[in-house]
Structure formats: structure tokens, C-alpha cells
Amino acid sequence: MLKIYGRDNSINVRKVLWLCAELELPYERYDFGRGFQPTDTPEFLALSQYGVVPVIDDEGFVLRESNTIVRYLAEKHASGDIYPRELQPRAQIQAWMDWASTDLGSAMRSVFWGVQLKHPDFTDPKQIEVSLANWTRQMRRLDAHLAEGNAHLMGTAFTVADIPVGLTVNRWFCTDIERPQLSSVSAYYDRLSLRPAFRQHGRNGTP
């Protein structure tokens, strides 16, 4: 059986859990990460020397990096629109997933760690202000894309591209910040919330 290592309140672990719920994949999950078993123990480092979650063990095949895990599991188990096999749509999906982890993820980092988690390394108001401005800029780009008539990132169909972006949208609405009215993002958030898997692992009260 698929084994997933990582706490279920981690945004990166939740990507994998959301996909598993969409595909109805059975798994066993083990709590590792902040607040649970540490990832710098010999036990965990024997599994992955990088010391981060999530990590999966798929019948002896060990894999790290959340977006890569999502794509791997979708490639192995999914069919149809969620991860199309055509080269160009698949590349566009991968670009959205990378954007969620780079431009979008980096922009929100100081805001989330400073405002939501109250981490002592992120208390500089200027740093948080700049981060919020960058995060807002990226969210406006997302809003503009959705406003073009796209129900999801790739058009009408839900794909794995919506998983990392959707979780960041959830964090946008759950973090105590002043945010502009982005009507297309709000409508997208509500559409995602019609999916039981997203309500379980995304819009579940955890930012």
C-alpha cells in the first residue's frame, strides 16, 4: 500500500492527500514534520536524506517533492482530464504547478509565516508589507486568468494544476490580511469547494 510521510496540516502534504481523495487511492499516512515526529532523525533521513515532507513510499519506490509526487500518482492512477497525456496541455499544467511553488509560493511566504504563524524570523513589518504586495500581485494575475472564462486553470476541466494553486487560494482567504475583492478568484474558490476532496483537505479550516 502507498505510504505517505508528513503531517496532514502541511500545505505540501495536503496536495498529495487531496489527489489521493480525488482518485480514491488507499494509503497509510505517518505524522512527520513540525509539531510531530522530527524529520532530522536517522529513521526519517534513511527514507529521505533531504529531511522534508511529504515523502511517499510506493511499494518500495521512494519519492519526495509534493508537485512531483502529485504528477507521479496522477500518471500512474488517473485517466482523462485530471492529467491529460497530450504534451502541450501537460506542459501547461506543469507550468501552473511550478508557478504555485515559485512566484506565488514565494510571494506569500513572509505574510503567512509572520501573520499566521507568528514566527520570530518574520516579524519585520516592512518585510510583511512587501510580501503582501507581491502575493496580491500574483493573485491579481490568477484573477485575470480566471476572468477570461476559465472555470479552472486549464479551462473547464479540473486538473492537477488546480491542486497547488487551490490550496494557496485557500490560504489567501484563511490568512488574517486585508485583501482586495477578486471576484473570479472567489468564484473559483467556491467551485473548488464543491469537490468533497477539497473540502476534506483544502477548505477545511486549515490555512
Task: Domain ranges for the chain, please list them.
Answer: 2-78, 85-199
Name the strands in the sheet holding 61-64, side by side, starting at the edge strand that comes first in the sequence: 27-30, 2-5, 55-58, 61-64
pLDDT of residue 118: 93
Determine the straight-line distance between the first and last CA of the chain, rounded to whole angstroms: 29
pLDDT of residue 181: 97
**For the domain with range 2-78, which CATH number is right: 3.30.950.10, 3.40.30.10, 3.40.50.10480, 3.40.640.10?**
3.40.30.10
pTM: 0.96
Give residue 19's pLDDT. Answer: 98
Count CB neighbours of 152 within 10 A: 19
Same fold, 2-78 and 85-199: no
pLDDT in tens, 148-190: 999 999 999 999 999 999 999 999 999 999 999 999 999 999 9
Would you state the pLDDT for residue 79?
A: 83
Fold of 85-199: Glutathione S-transferase Yfyf (Class Pi); Chain A, domain 2 (1.20.1050)
Could you say which residues of the chain have pLDDT below 70? none
